[in-house]
Amino acid sequence: MTQRFALYLQDKHNMRDELNMVHYAEERGFSEIWQADTRLARDCIVMMSAFLAHSKKLRIGSGVLPIWTRNPAVIAATWSTMWELGGGKGEDGRGRVMLGLGAWWEPIATRVGVKREKPLQAIRENIEVIRQLFTMEEVTYEGSFVHLDRIKLDVAYGDHSPRDIPIYIGATGDKMLEMAGEICDGVVLNYVVSVDYIKKAIGLVEQGAKKAGKTIKDIDTPELLVCCLSDEDPKAAMAEGKKLIAYYLATEPHIMKASGVSEELLEKVQSILT
């Protein structure tokens, strides 16, 4: 099996530099690019579209799009458009785009007026509907969060074939990890977590897969990794890594709690940085 290598991009680098990175990665055999969309920084759809237009083979995914920010029918239409931009089905029978979805986190959701209620149910309904819409058939759906009445992707002149777009959940909590294994093609595993956490997470994904008659081999499990590198000044690289850890302690406590960080340490860092 060929080793997969990917890049996960946020908003650290100049956009032109990132486009150059995409060229560099493709020329050197990288398999994919994942674009973040978790904070109010860069919109993943804009960046993914640019990456698709500036590459030929790389697969491009969202890591991950919050479900509360767009209607699921609009999400399906957007990814269908990017599927076309990426050339539709490739020689290997796969398209070039991947859809990663997430439930967002607190406190950002509340601060922008989103009621993050029953995220497991909301994610499930979104995925069920989007997957149906990718078949290009008409969909009627009545859920607690999603309501569609005879809706289909309205492609009048283009390719009417089903969109082979794999769906991932960016999952951290136990129940979300298990559900990802059950209903998704893959799960995007977080960075800044412990090895023990990852072992446990994979076990939960496997449990979910078994519920749907699948094995862990049927589930794609990419994990985000943070690297701070410097040949000239390793101490500076270490300092950058520490700054990133502090940022996540302050702004995304759910990730830190997953690795067993104490409430006392979380509160101390948050009091300094927020």
List the beta strands (DSSP E) in the chain.
6-9, 32-35, 59-62, 65-66, 97-102, 139-142, 147-151, 167-171, 186-189
pLDDT value at residue 256: 80
Which tokens is 109 given?
A: 């959701």
HSE toward the beta carbon, residue 232, CA cutoff 13 A = 0
Cβ atoms 9, 54 nearer than 8 A? no
Taking the C-alpha atoms of residue 76 and residue 126, their distance in angstroms, rounded to an integer, is 10
pTM of the model: 0.93
Which parts of the chain have pLDDT scores under 50? 1
Angle at Cα 13 formed by Cα 7 and Cα 16, nearest 5°? Answer: 95
Amino acid at 172: T
**What number of other Cβ atoms are within 10 A of residue 73's Cβ?**
18
Angle at 231 between CA 225 and CA 234, to 5 degrees: 70
**Which two three-digit tokens encode residue 138?**
């008409």
Per-residue pLDDT at 1: 46
Round to whole Å and give the CA distance between 105 and 38. Answer: 9
H/E segment holding residue 27: helix 15-27
Main-chain dihedrals φ then ψ at residue 85, nearest 5 degrees:
-60, -35
Report the pLDDT value the prediction gives residue 274, as an integer from 0 to 100. 64
- The 8-class DSSP code of residue 143 comes to -
Radius of gyration from C-alpha coordinates of the chain: 19
Q: Are 254 and 266 in contact (CB under 8 A)?
A: no
